Structure 1
Amino acid sequence: MTPPIRTCLGCRGRVAKSELIRLAWNNTTSAVVADGSQVMPGRGCYVHPGCADQVARRKLLGRALRRPVDGEQAAAVLAALAASATQAPA
């Protein structure tokens, strides 16, 4: 059985879902959050940690989540993802 395939929002590469981080809209905080368990309800998008800068630069989260997204808050989440990518062992 093949694993589920998802597309990275930044590089548009198609890879296994387990290799990507899911970002979702949290209704209680009205903010974008990293969904580590990948089970939050609602619309989500998938990003390689290394592609976070590209997603922030191109302002893709609002369109992907179909919501108005606060640019500063989204940039903070994406910056945390980019930082975790640089600290991860190769």
Structure 2
Amino acid sequence: MARGRSAVAGPDPSSPRPRASEAVRTCVGCRARATKSELLRVTAGRDAAGQPAVVPDPASTASGRGAHVHPTRECVDLAVRRKAFSRALRAGTGLPTGLVSAYVDSLTSTTSSTSTT
């Protein structure tokens, strides 16, 4: 047996394997792992004025590098405070996150207004 190598090769066959339909991603805000459907994908794009910005991609169809965040104000604020969007999207400078914040706020206001009626 070679020095420094384990006798066991490969993953443990007794451990359950995740199904292909349950893709798991890490939230850039809280760093918790969650299924892709629970998270909001964001990308580096352009705002209405044509300036670079972090933009929400709820359909996950935009091309390019993306990052995932829970669609809650707490996780978005934590990602902004940690400068996680710029790091995850590999943007050299800080990108404005107003579009993502507005999108998450609209989700929470829609959810709260439908639950009170």
Unaligned runs of 5+ in 1: none
Which protein has the bigger strand share?
1
Per-residue CA deviation, residues 20-77 of structure 1 (Å, 9 max, x unaligned), is 000001269432210111021111100002211111122211111001233xx22x12
Higher relative contact order structure (alpha carbons within 8 Å, sequence separation ≥ 6): 1
Taking the aligned partners of 1:57 and 1:27, their CA distance within structure 2 comes to 21
Give the deviation of 1:84 after TM superposition. Answer: 3.5
The structure-2 alpha-carbon separation of the partners of 1:35 and 1:78, relative to structure 1 and needing over 3 Å to count, comes to closer
TM-score (norm: length of structure 2): 0.63
SS of 1:52's equivalent in the other structure is helix
**Mapping of 1:63-78 within 5 angstroms?**
63-67=87-91, 68-70=93-95, 73-74=96-97, 76-78=98-100
TM-score, structure 1 as length reference: 0.79
Higher helix share: 1
For 1:45, the equivalent position in structure 2 comes to: 67
| 8 Å Cα contact 2:41-2:66 kept in structure 1 | yes
Question: Rg larger in 1 or in 2?
Answer: 2
Matched, 1:54 2:78: yes
1:15 corresponds to 2:39: no
Q: Distance in 1 between matches of 2:105 and 2:26?
A: 21
| Aligned-CA RMSD value | 2.2
Task: After the TM superposition, list the runs of 4 or more consecutive aligned residues in structure 1 that deviate by more than 4 angstroms.
Answer: none
